Amino acid sequence: MMKPNSLREALTAAVPDLARHPEKLHVFVDEGRLVATGARSLSFEYRYTLTLIVTDFAAGSDEIMVPVLAWLRVNQPELFFSPAQREDGVKFEADILNHTTVDLALKLPLTERVTVRVNGTGYQVEHHPEPVNEDDDPATWWPAAP
């Protein structure tokens, strides 16, 4: 699975507090399953719920939510474009610890397509990126690196 590490890297880059304190960011894969395609290969799809927990967070929740949405726009775009999925796709809970800090948990339904081919004595495994919407301009929702 590639998306859990990708999201961790994106959040660490986008949220200064997580860059300084990466131990506050916890990423788990829950309810995972493999869905075989039925094709004449071993190709499959990972389907799972990614649970993201940020502990002792003192900034506003928007500092986490906005970068997560920007990452999802590229890595799970159907959560934006499918009416059924966008209504119930991203879930969250907050444990308000005191007047200044919160533990925040997000649940994200993710999928990853994987193609498998027999390659002589082993397997050639390829993880596919999400299709790109040609009308969507990433520069409008993800800031340029400083």
- For 73, other C-beta atoms within 10 Å of its C-beta total 19
Spatial CA neighbour of 46 closest among 36, 54, 57, 34: 34
Spatial CA neighbour of 45 closest among 75, 92, 1: 1
Residues 125 and 54 sit within 8 Å (Cβ to Cβ): no
pLDDT band of residue 140 (cuts 50, 70, 90) is low
Helix (H, G, I), strand (E, B) or coil at 127: strand
pTM of the entire structure?
0.85
Q: What are phi and psi of 97, to 5 degrees?
A: -80, -40
Helix (H, G, I), strand (E, B) or coil at 97: coil
How do residues 66-122 score in pLDDT, each as one tens digit? 999 999 998 998 888 888 888 888 999 999 999 999 999 999 999 999 999 888 889
Please indicate whether residue 22 or residue 128 has the higher confidence score (pLDDT). 22
Average confidence score pLDDT of the chain: 88
pLDDT band of residue 145 (cuts 50, 70, 90) is very low
